[in-house]
Amino acid sequence: RDDLRGREPYGAPQLDVPVRLNTNENPYPPSPRLVEALGRAVAEVAGGLNRYPDRDAVELRKDLADYLGHGVTAQQVWAANGSNEIIQQILQAFGGPGRTALGFEPSYSMHPIITRVSGTEWIDAYRDEDFGLEAERAVAAIEEHRPDIVFLTSPNNPTGTSLPLEAIEAVLAVAPGMVVVDEAYAEFRRQGTPSALSLLPGNPRLIVTRTMSKAFAMAGTRVGYLAADPAVIDALLLVRLPYHLSAVTQTVARTAIAYQGELLGAVETLRAERDALVGWLRGEGFEVADSDANFVLFGRFADRRAVWQGVLDRGVLIREVGPPEWLRVSVGTPEEMAAFRAALKAAL
């Protein structure tokens, strides 16, 4: 395909270093109790692996709906291999040649990548100076370009900033097509910051995407999901592969949801660690984006590559992403954060 020639594949470095703070994973592995439960659950399905899995993931979707609350039903939930596959299915169903998708930079790089791979045209719009997104600016971009799909990300990656519900409502009021709110980091928001899930009633063109890769500490399992009008899910059924979610994946995800109390307890710890990190970075004189997620964007650096490399040389992997003068660091354990602080100071 000529349109893919010269493009770079997704390339977050996968380096074997002591402290990895570059892909916004949850630093806490499953507890021994959960590991045991996962083993039992996998053993239970193992005897039936000669058969295809439930291609509609009925039980998993019920569990996810219960977890989401907001009156969301299993018929409004769909699951796939990570929210990356969810985004791919959305593009396959609602995008394609002759159609357009628009997002507000800086934001999650996979939105434009998956958009282009689907043959859909990508349109860059831009966030405000402070990485927020004023409703007026969003509405103006949508009215100018009339995209078939709008991507909003809240909290946004790589900036960590959340959108107020009013901005999302304003977008829904003018968007001519689908509005996707990517809430991969929803659980890390400060208490009280509302989810777009509350806007689902009466908004059949709204899709809210979530993932088990972050708060649920299941990045290795690959489960993402969405909540939307059941008609959206009917459309996704037309593009998904026949058995996209394995039986092992489904049972692991359901077991993790059953342990949500324990897993989400760690989210509290990470939120506190994030706030401490923001405070420390500000105290050191850096500019810091207002993070509502499990990572922090900070700057500004005349040569961010040199700082990134200096931190890496001390065993800590962070991320060169977002605007050219900024770096992103994921929130880790207290020990990992201490290693990051020491590495950054030494690198400077």
Q: List residues binding ligand PLP (CB under 6 A).
A: 24, 82-84, 108, 153, 157, 182, 184, 211, 213, 219, 224
Q: In angstroms, what is the minimal distance from the CB of 182 to ligand PLP?
A: 5
Q: In angstroms, what is the minimal distance from the CB of 148 to ligand PLP?
A: 20
Nearer to ligand PLP, 131 or 140 (CB): 131
Q: In angstroms, what is the minimal distance from the CB of 120 to ligand PLP?
A: 17
Q: In angstroms, what is the minimal distance from the CB of 51 to ligand PLP?
A: 26
Sheet holding 121-126, edge to edge: 77-80, 224-228, 206-211, 178-182, 149-153, 100-105, 121-126
Nearer to ligand PLP, 12 or 338 (CB): 12
Nearer to ligand PLP, 76 or 221 (CB): 221
Closest-approach residue to ligand PLP (CB) = 82
Nearer to ligand PLP, 155 or 299 (CB): 155
Q: In angstroms, what is the minimal distance from the CB of 184 to ligand PLP?
A: 4
Nearer to ligand PLP, 109 or 314 (CB): 109
Q: In angstroms, what is the minimal distance from the CB of 1 to ligand PLP?
A: 23
Nearer to ligand PLP, 37 or 219 (CB): 219
- Tokens coding 229: 């009008």
Nearer to ligand PLP, 24 or 161 (CB): 24
Q: In angstroms, what is the minimal distance from the CB of 213 to ligand PLP?
A: 3
